[in-house]
Amino acid sequence: MLKVGLTGGIGCGKSTAVRRFRELGVPVIEADLIAREVVAIGQPALDEIATLFGHQALQGDGSLNRSWLRQTVFGDSLRLQQLESILHPRIRTEILNRMAACTHSAYVIVDVPLLFEKDYTQLFDRILVIDCLPDQQRTRVQVRDGSDDTVITSIMQSQIEREARLQRANDIISNTSSITDFYEKINEINNRYVKFSEA
């Protein structure tokens, strides 16, 4: 079975691509969902975070205090590293387990927003990048989230540069035109991946 890592810059259309792949019957694993599950109440990662960061890391109901934690690690590379050393090994293991369970399909898509930044490349046979122009990214995120330009710029700067992302991709889908055009390109790559898998 072919293992495909899906990534792209903020606002490039990853969520739309994921939705389309699902409509085509392709199993999709989302790293962001797994990241939430591994810190749910009762999970060992949550206890480790509370031990490391103190009781402020938890809310009154015992769940993770995400906003406090985000502010605590923002701009503090050591604290961020400590947090990631708790999360990423668990996320990797869970991705591997879920990919192994997708035996009924020609290929599986794993949506990893920070695929290059957190070095998930070795888990996959192919890397698929969803791409659009930087101006389109800004406009789409503003429309979607109402974020201001400063926030969008800081998010874009925290991600790998567009050129580097494109250079490291095996496959690229350009999402610069209409939704119809985007869906056609996804349909084409779906057919190609099925053929790859059969070969």
Provide the residue type at 67 as one letter.
S
- Pairing status of strand 28-30 against strand 2-8: unpaired
Q: Please tell me whether 14 is known to bind a ligand.
A: yes
Q: Please tell me whether 7 is known to bind a ligand.
A: no
Strand order in the sheet with 107-111: 28-30, 107-111, 2-8, 126-131, 171-174
Nearest to 174 by CA among 159, 161, 160, 188: 188
Neighbours of 27 (CB within 10 A): 19
- Written as one string, the DSSP assignment of 113-164 is TTTTTTT-GGG-SEEEEEE--HHHHHHHHHHHH---HHHHHHHHHHSPPHHH
Nearest to 176 by CA among 190, 168, 166: 166
Provide the residue type at 42 as one letter.
G
Q: Please tell me whether 16 is known to bind a ligand.
A: yes
The DSSP secondary-structure symbol of 166 reads H
Binding residues for ATP: 11-16
Binding region = 11-16
